[in-house]
Structure 1
Amino acid sequence: MKLNTIENLKKRKSNYNLNKDIKVSDEDIIKMVEDVFLYSPSAFNSQSHKAIIVLGDEHDYLWEDLTLNTLLEIVKKEEKIKEVTEKMNSFKNAYGTILIFEDEDIVKSLQEQFPIFKDNFPIWSEQGSGMATIEMWNAFAEMGLGANLQHYNPLIDEKIQKRWDIPKNWVLRGQLIFGEIVEEAKAKEKIDIKKRVKVVK
């Protein structure tokens, strides 16, 4: 049986060589992200995962100014400064970024309501944002766009909160960068699937 879900999953790669010359409208991207967050599952229907869609000049600011300057405050070696600058420029060259958050207030509220599951709610919350992330990533692949997932949190959390007036209870979990694919990523080596998936009857 051939499934579109699997065919789209095969297209999803970590594409880093991206540009802004996309053939998809902002409206289609926004609708996709809204639908993913509307229909993605979450434990106890908590809907604790949140997103900020960063486009245009704000996307450029995120990588050229906000993140780069934060890293340059930490990095001192000249060769590392060049490496970090080139990497941030590659992210800036992409079209946009989805900032992915978890609402800690929702998680804490569930921990109080259901103390027997207290230790599990942070895990389930992460699983929810992970599912939403991969669903967006797959949708970008179906749209013909490339994406890569970054994690510059918590280094940039405070500056992001101030820049876009984000509630402090929204904790940054990842940055999904997307754009037109300039050069397709090479296939990565895979472990024999029989060593990873076991069938019992």
Structure 2
Amino acid sequence: MTPSIRLLLVDDEWLVRAGLRTMLSGQPDVDIVGEASDGTAIRENVAETGANMVLMDIRMPKVNGLEATEALRALPDPPHVVMLTTFDSDDLVLRSLQAGASGFLLKDTPPADLIAALRKVVAGEPILSPAITRKLINRFTEPGERKSRADAQFGQLTPGEQRVAVAVARGMSNSAIAEELFVSVATVKSHISHILDKLGFNNRVQIALLVHDARPGEVL
């Protein structure tokens, strides 16, 4: 069963927040617990509301989404962060993912797709397709530098962890990975946990970014 979503909306435009609230408030598994106009008091906002997910604009006038995401990383049990962006113009997207965001959505994402994406994130699944991940990497980082760094990090993983990492980069769920690799779901979760701890990552999106750099030919 998908966990319930306790959602904090963070956007400097009140019309955007109002639209999101209208769109999401009718969902039985979504509880909008608070709103904020920027990330100035993001840690306090999360602590006061008990939010387990933050839907956050990247570009805000005071404390932007990147800075707010980085602040949330210091919490003992940080919420999932999903960024709102205009993809083609926003140069903070990749940095937000590297800071620990679970993914990003375009502001014109259809309501059904938005709701489905939030449910996927709260269940622990990434919301970036391999194609979007590759476009982000190519747009914002230097190929030689990131390949060298990724090779070193990927080499720290055991063969079993590498196989799971590649499957994560393909956008596969834990159950699908378990079926493909002939292991239990618990084993898949254990491998993912070890990868995150070993490399200092926060989520599956960062694993996908690593694999796209280190083993692009294995991501089908």
TM-score, normalised to structure 1's length?
Answer: 0.23
Q: Highest CA radius of gyration, 1 or 2?
A: 1
More strand by share: 1
TM-score, normalised to structure 2's length?
Answer: 0.22
